[in-house]
Amino acid sequence: MSWIGRDEALDALGVKPQTLYAYVSRGLIASHPDENDPRASVYSAADIAGLVQRRRSGRGRQAIASAAISWGDPVMETAITTVRDGKLIYRGKDAVKLAADATLEEVAALLWQAPAPFPSRAAGAVAPAGETGKARLLTCLAMQAASDPPSFGRGSAALAEEGALLMASGCTAVTGTSGRGFYHQRLGRHWGLSPGGTDLLRRALVLVADHELNPSTFAARVAASTGAPLAACALAGCATLTGPLHGEASARALAYLNRAVEDGPQAALAALAARGERIPAVGHALYPAGDPRAAALLRWMKPAPALKRAIKAAEQASGEASNVDMALAALSVQLSLPEDAPFLIFASGRMAGWIAHAIEQQASGRLIRPRANYTGR
């Protein structure tokens, strides 16, 4: 196989570096470290030639736009997060390595390019009414969206300050009580976790803090592009997260794991097949070699034998590795967390990313307003 350097690959494709990295992360172009410079990569000349040929074959503008909506080419620029060579990168730093010792607040400060962490903001806030953490969080964001000032025309520093208050009040909503400490500490106390369990929670929050232009983040950026309040941007993201194909994907994984631990993996897999359901929380389009977030979290938590067998059975039956939704569900089983814990962990961590993207979008001064391809009469 013939390999070429980055500059030659970019010239052949006629794309920006971000697009090249996206092709690699989706498995369209093979790459490996350059033997002469381990910090650089080389790329498959054959894969690049194939992509160029497919482009020349005549995809129209409408076809290209349609394909870009679903795991397609990058549609906007960001300096916040990317997936490259199978790794999740937060502003140039490996997210898995950050999760080893960083708090969610420290990662938020990195993503927002803001000052030091803010563990005790809004300590006296009162949680809104609601029977579940999910209901209280959505209510909290809606109430603040209705009263907070627009983000339009405000500087990044002011929005980061507001974002810190928003995350702290969000923690109060999730836990149902005010308090001090970092997000993982407050959540750990709420769920009665040991120091070890609380540390696993910290790592999970960092791993889900952001993930490039996923559906909920795109929704948050659209809201931000209109100048909506920061809380409204987070609300747009959180509302999108409630969908079964996004943030609620862990709920299906949790149901499978609970059944597998109780009745055995084969019975749980047979039940899925009988209902015509796919095995949940395995595989990921951006990680052909496996989701590094899931691999790290599962390695750190050391699942109990029955739980480990359930995860392994799902991977063997599907032929794909677990993704982060499976890892969050496994964490909930391992720590005996409530059923809504995966969603609350995901939403709590991703709040940092939604705010980061809202700040970046507002700074761009651009309205997100694509055109639709009309197919009606």
* 239 shares a domain with 163: yes
Report the C-alpha gap between 167 and 137 in whole angstroms.
10
Residues 18 and 53 in one domain: yes
Flag whether 86 is in a domain: no
Contact 341, 247 (CB under 8 A): no
Asked if residue 82 belongs to a domain, the reply is no
Spatial distance between the Cα atoms of 26 and 19, rounded to a whole number of angstroms: 11
Tens digit of each residue's pLDDT, the chain (377 residues): 588 999 999 999 988 888 888 888 777 888 888 888 877 888 888 888 888 877 665 555 555 555 556 665 667 889 999 998 899 999 999 999 999 999 999 999 999 999 877 765 554 567 788 899 999 999 999 999 999 999 999 999 999 999 999 999 999 999 999 888 999 999 999 999 999 999 999 999 999 999 999 999 999 999 999 999 999 999 999 999 998 878 778 999 999 999 999 999 999 999 999 999 999 999 998 888 899 999 999 999 999 999 999 999 999 999 999 999 999 999 999 999 999 999 999 999 999 999 999 999 999 999 999 888 888 99
Distance CA 340, CA 133 (A): 8
Say whether both 162 and 25 belong to one domain.
no
Q: What is the pTM of this model?
A: 0.83
Does residue 80 fall inside a structural domain? Answer: no
Flag whether 88 is in a domain. no
For residue 63 the two structure tokens come to 């076809």
Domain ranges, residue 111: 94-377
State whether 183 and 53 are in the same domain.
no
* Total domains in the fold of the chain: 2
The order of strands in the sheet holding 93-94 is: 81-84, 87-90, 93-94
CATH of the domain at 153: 1.10.580.10
- Asked if 272 and 358 sit in the same domain, the reply is yes
Q: Are 19 and 101 found together in one domain?
A: no
- Do residue 19 and residue 159 come from a single domain? no
d(Cα 228, Cα 79) in Å, to the nearest integer? 21
